[in-house]
Each structure stands twice: as C-alpha cells, then as structure tokens.
Structure 1
C-alpha cells in the first residue's frame, strides 16, 4: 500500500510524494530543495518523477533532481523528461498500476495520473474548482473534467494547488443552497484556520460541491445563464462558469 503525502512549496503549491519501502515517486516538483529535505528526513530515495504539464511551478526542480537512470515521466516537450507520454499509457510505479490520462485544456499536453486509489490532477481538477484554460479550448477542458469525473467516487483528488477556499467562495455564489457545498466550505475553513491542508479531496466530494463537475444541475445552469444567456449545453454552462471565475473576486 502506497503512502501518499504532500510537501508544500511556494505560496500554494504541493509536491505529492508516493512512498513504499523508502522508495519515492514525486509528482510535479516545482522546487527541488523541499523535496530533497523531505527525502533526507524520511530516509527515502527518489525512484521517479511524474510531471503533469510544463509550467515552471511544476517543473523547475527537475534541473536539480534529474540524474542518470532516474525515470522522469511526462509530456515529451519538457526538458529532462526521459519517459515521454501522450495519455493512454499504463505505468507500474512502486508495484502499483497507474493510468495516464490526457487532459488538455489548461495546457494542450496536460496529463493526469490515476492509480493506487488516487488521482494526481495537476492543474486540471482542483478541489472546488478547475484550472484556467490557457492553451486548449473550453470544450477540451470540459471533456477532460468529464473524463476525470468517471473515475471511482472514492478516488483521492491530489491536485497541485491550495486553492480550495477561494474556489468554494465562487461555488457558493453559484449554488448557495447546496448543503453538501455548505458543509465542505465550513470544513475547509476550519482546516485552513488550523493551518492544515484541505487536500486531498475525494471525487465524491467534488461531484457534490464543485460547480465545474455539476454543469447538468438546474441551479448551476440557471446561474450560468445569468452570465451568458446562450449557455444551454453542459459544455456551454462550463464555459460560462469558467469565464465568470476568471474575473471573480
């Protein structure tokens, strides 16, 4: 059984680490030093790295971590990747099977990794929200989120940013009467007040409280149409919400 932990870096990023028998797979090491300190303190050895996309806050640690023979998985265009992936592949990591999921939208080559009961979703699916659409289209991002929503409901959602509280503030604007969302917001407020992580979430929590996974819900459709009266299909509802969130304060 893999042990999954988070290492906070920068203002709101996490490096996720998967550990078994003192061997570690690191996900999105945007800064090498905190990971190296953690490995030393836990008496662990780095056995591989997973990268979700090319943004520097997910990759900048690679220069100091790459070494001969260390497998580094991710989109082919990223420097130091020596196990290039496109999505659709299966990996065996620390004895566990992982699926590689192509999730374009935030970036065109964004990948997510699902295995050991956990989803490492990078900047595609956040707790309470989703990533901005920078390189792909709204339709691509919507479809990527639909792909992730089909995973088992008990899946741990291990995203790379501590954005949960601000995401839930927007979600409450969309569905103020959603009791599951109200409960989630209260829980996260307590966690953050105690300086604890809000992550990982679970897919069941996200399906009940994340408006970007709830584009078929009447209340969500109604609010999206207030922002864009032409938002009739679920994909259009998603696009309306994402554009709204871009400027939400």
Structure 2
C-alpha cells in the first residue's frame, strides 16, 4: 500500500496544521484549519488540492479556516459528533469506533474528551500515525477546559495503548515549556534529561519538536507516567490511583 506524504507547517502563532497526501488518487486531507490562507499557501507550495478536512475539536484556532476552505475546494468536512453544532460546515460527524476511508487507508476515530467534551483523534493504523491535536503534546497534555480530569486520563490512556512506534502529531509547539515543567516532576529521569537537551537544541535551530511517538512519551512524559514510583513519591501520592496522580500533575502544570 502506498505510503502517505505528510507536510506539517505552522499557522497563527504556534498552531500546527498537517496535510496528508495520497499520490495515486491525488487526495489530500488537512488536520484542522487554523487559518485558511496558511493552508491554501501550503497546498499551493506542494501542488496539492484539498479533498478532505479532518476537524478534531471546536476551538477557533483549529476551525477558523473551515468555511473558506470548503468554499474554495469543495472538500468534505469531517468532525466530532459531540461538537457538530459548534463547527461550521461539517458534512460527516464522527464518534468513538467509527471508521472512515481516506484514499484506501483506514482511519479509526478515537474519542478523547477532556480538553473539550467532543475532542477526537484520527488514527491511521496501516501508516502508524495518529493525529491528536490538543489531547497529547510532546512531554505534555492539553488543558482540561470542558471535561474532567478523569476523562482526560481516560483519553490519554487510550492513546498510550496504541503501538509504541505510532507517530503522534499534535496541534501546537509547546514542547520547550513542557520540558521545563516535566523536569520538576521527574528530574531523575535520564531519558527526560536527554530529551530536554535535544529539545533546547532543536528550538534554538528553529526546528519543530512535533511529531513524537507513543513510545517516547511513555518514557519521558510525566502526564502519562503517573504509575512511576519516583513521581508518586515526589508528589506524596503513593497509594493513589493513576487518575488521581495525573490530576495533580495537570493541576501543577496549570499553575507553573
């Protein structure tokens, strides 16, 4: 099966948009639409035409360009069923367990509530790709705006159950700040220490830190490591549930 071509680019201040292109059919999907002009310019730079638009959640920095892109390209717009009334121009609404086809590639829908109540991720198992927007970040996770801490932990747990070599595309460039916080939670984690140094170097060179992998996050991201004895000891939460430890880490990040 043909491998997909992927082009990631910055929009607005720190949003990432991703284009996925299938050369045989000339199908192209965008993951979210932070800014219509930026997406159009990216498409033009590659010589691609937008056929699909995969929305992850309703926040305006992910949906501002939806209407203009649909009007320009006539692309089909997909989005979360639980937020369909809050995202303009959705053609097909999706929820947990749904499966759609993108140019012969299976796309599984994973509901990931927490950041928003209807947030979804798009998983392409044959390409070992998952597009998670604002649920999971390198060394971090999204703020819990609409859901509960328990919902967010449940969402992260589902993502962490994917194969470790799954490549993870997130919606923002937040990694340098996430690394500084992560080191306050698990400073003795040598893999985290090394990764933090690599992130500093990448950002000083103007390089992106997205994508990441499930395996790398399992090794270094404190938000998905609440079962770490060192983290539990540092937080004084030995004997607490993973969800409770996660919630304390998220609360500390909110105040960091």
Please give the range of the TM-score, normalised by the shorter of the 2 chains: over 0.9
> How many aligned residue pairs are there?
245
1:2 and 2:4 aligned: yes
Question: Do the aligned partners of 2:232 and 2:238 also contact (CA within 8 Å) in 1?
Answer: no
Partner of 1:19: 21
Tell me how large the CA RMSD over aligned residues is: 1.4
Distance (whole Å) between structure 2 residues aligned to residue 245 and residue 47 of structure 1: 38
Is the counterpart of residue 124 in structure 1 residue 135 in structure 2? yes
Q: CA deviation at 1:223?
A: 2.6
Q: In the alignment, is the contact (CA less than 8 A) between 1:23 and 1:47 conserved in 2?
A: yes
5+ residue gaps, structure 2 = none
Whole-Å Cα distance in 1 between the matches of residues 239 and 50 of structure 2? 47
Of 70, 78, 90, the residue aligned with 2:75 is 70
Give the C-alpha shift of residue 69 in structure 1.
4.8
**8 Å CA contact 1:24, 1:48 repeated in 2:** yes
With 139-148 and 181-190 compared, the bigger mean Cα shift is at 181-190
* Residue 235 (structure 1) shift: 0.4
Equivalent position of 1:216 in the other structure: 227
1:172 and 2:180 are equivalent in the alignment: no
1:230 to partner: Cα distance: 8.7
Shift of 1:87: 2.0
Q: Which structure 1 segments of 5+ residues have no match?
A: none
Task: Give the deviation of 1:71 after TM superposition.
Answer: 1.2
Residue 198 of structure 2 corresponds to residue 187 of structure 1: yes
Specify the alignment match of 1:146 in structure 2. 157
Counterparts of 2:138 and 2:239, CA distance in 1: 24
